[in-house]
Structure 1
Amino acid sequence: WLWTLLRPTMGLEQDLRWSGRRRHYVIAALGGLVIGFYDGLLGPGTGSFLLILLVGVLGYSFLDASATAKVVNLGTNAAALVVFAATGSILWVLGGLMAVGNILGGVIGARTAMRRGSGFVRVVFLVVVGALILRLAWDLLP
């Protein structure tokens, strides 16, 4: 978060760091493996971790990284839905209402991001992750 805050131009433009070198593929694969494991184990904040990997390490713009993260999250959420449905662990009415809200928010968010660009997505990322940091710090206070 601090790294993004202190580098105001980071993620505003696409600056892919793929040179075809093996180490870039290894870094991307390891990052994806770690984030995927975390997403399967716990889940919250996975989109932010994907943004950090895609923007900070791989050089995506915030707009493209956000779109890519949404596709990854869709896949992992679909897999989780299958697993939880098979065990009968889903509150379908609540889940359905949340899905409707998620779809509406996704449509509005995607349109806003496309219209306003990477600078807007960067600010939203900083605000949301900053709020999460403050909340976690608050919870640690005695």
Structure 2
Amino acid sequence: MVIAFYDGVMGPGTGTFLIISLTALVGTGFLESSAMAKVINTGTNLGALAVFAWQGNILWLLGIGLAVANVAGAQLGAHMAIGRGSGFVRWVLLVVVVVMVGKLGYDLVSG
């Protein structure tokens, strides 16, 4: 529920929170948690898309371009994760979390 609330209010980083939660609470490996997080994130994104479409608040051309880039990145990431395994996913997750904390800290200090 907490992650769902965060996803609805903020959004960025939800996949990371899902991976950490699924790994810690459900006991799945990083690779499986990452795959499950993608499915969950897709569902929440489709829900948001439906709401924004219903309200007429979508920039379709921009959204389609971003969707194409997202699919390309997902394909590349999936192939790398499957090819390199859970250890690779764990390191990527660690780097992402450190960068996110650094960015949030910088934003907090710089105003």
TM-score range with shorter-chain normalisation? over 0.9
**Are 1:129 and 2:97 an aligned pair?**
yes
CA distance in 2, matches of 1:136, 1:68: 26
Secondary structure at the aligned position of 1:44 is classed as: coil
Larger radius of gyration: 1
Aligned length: 110
In 1, Cα distance between equivalents of 2:32 and 2:78: 11
CA distance in 1, matches of 2:107, 2:76: 31
CA distance in 2, matches of 1:103, 1:50: 19
Segments ≥4 residues shifted beyond 3 Å? none
Offset of residue 58 of structure 1:
2.1
Q: Percent identity?
A: 55
- Secondary structure of residue in 2 paired with 1:141: helix
Q: Equivalent residue for 1:6?
A: none
Q: Which 5+ residue runs of structure 2 have no aligned equivalent? A: none
When the two chains are superposed, the root-mean-square deviation of aligned CA atoms in Å is: 0.9
Higher share in helix: 2
> Which residue, 45, 56, 63 being the options, matches 2:31?
63
1:104 aligned residue (57, 72, 81): 72
Q: Work out which of the residue numbers 42, 45, 50 in structure 2 matches 1:82.
A: 50
Question: Hey, what's the Cα distance between the residues in 1 that align with 2:44 and 2:96?
Answer: 21
**Larger RCO (CA under 8 A, 6+ residues apart):** 1
Q: Distance in 2 between matches of 1:106 and 1:98?
A: 12
